[in-house]
Amino acid sequence: MIGSKTFTLFAAALAALSSTALAAPTRTEKVARDYGYSGVAPAGATHSVVVGRGGLRFDPENVVAEIGDIVEFHFTARNHSVAQSNFANPCNPIGPDAFFSGFDFVTQYGQNDNVFQITIQDKSPIWYYCAQTNMNHCQNGMAGVINQNFDSNEFTLAKYKENAWNLGRAGYVSTAPAYVGGSLNARVVPNPNPLSGF
């Protein structure tokens, strides 16, 4: 017969095992694993996105940010931009208030002296793209999202890129917003975090 003390020890060991090795990943961990986003940080945090690292790409291209956080775009080589769109119309400005960095970040080496910042005001998804028409950056996958709805299989960044690619195949040339600045308190500022994101 198994003594009650032995049983208690066994149960404790089992509990310890299940709370460590066998614990299911949290939602945050799953999203981080599957999407490689920048991480959930305290409100007021700054999330750096490197523009053009690894080609026609934003890195990371999938960010989860809280209200009050800043998303800060650092520009590496070539001639890129950041422009706000919506899911339904990839490679197009969301409207006259679309945030837009402009094209004044051309960089040969390292990163530009200025960054482009926006401040998150609510938790709805924010879609953006590079409006460079020379080589159709958006149609070729240069797009990103902040606060994608991870419960949806439809409104994903992969789907946005697929729609953008199809536009390119149909000969569509993307458009840029008319004005630099725009919604979410968008602004160009001297780079306050030269090492962030690198």
The residues that touch ligand NAG, with contacts defined as CB under 6 A, are 79, 103, 106, 132-134
Minimum distance from CB of 133 to ligand NAG (Å)?
6
CA distance 193 to 18: 41
CA distance 74 to 47: 10
Instruction: Pick one of ligand NAG, Cu ion, none as the site partner of residue 106 (Cβ within 5 to 8 A by kind).
Output: ligand NAG
**Binding residue for Cu ion (CB under 5 A) from 132, 148, 174, 183?**
132
55's tokens: 């080609």
DSSP string, 58-79: EESSEE---TT-EEEEEE-SB-
Minimum distance from CB of 25 to Cu ion (Å)?
34
* DSSP annotation of 19: H
Residues 6+ positions from 165 with CB-CB distance below 8 Å: 139, 140, 141
Q: What are phi and psi of 29, to 5 degrees?
A: -65, -40
**Binding residue for Cu ion (CB under 5 A) from 82, 118, 142, 145?**
142
Closest to ligand NAG by CB, 89 vs 133, is 133
Contact between 112 and Cu ion by CB under 5 A: the answer reads no
Instruction: Pick one of ligand NAG, Cu ion, none as the site partner of residue 137 (Cβ within 5 to 8 A by kind).
Output: Cu ion
Closest to ligand NAG by CB, 20 vs 108, is 108
**Binding residue for Cu ion (CB under 5 A) from 47, 74, 137, 161?**
137
Select from 68-76, 79-87, 101-109, 173-181 the region that touches Cu ion (CB under 5 A).
79-87
Closest to Cu ion by CB, 91 vs 186, is 91
Kind of pairing between the strands at 58-59 and 143-146: unpaired
Minimum distance from CB of 138 to Cu ion (Å)?
8
Residues 6+ positions from 140 with CB-CB distance below 8 Å: 56, 165, 168
Contact between 50 and Cu ion by CB under 5 A: the answer reads no
Q: Which amino acid is at 137?
A: H
Kind of pairing between the strands at 143-146 and 126-129: antiparallel
Q: What are phi and psi of 14, to 5 degrees?
A: -65, -45
Contact between 74 and Cu ion by CB under 5 A: the answer reads no
Residues at the interface with Cu ion (CB under 5 A) = 80, 130, 132, 137, 142
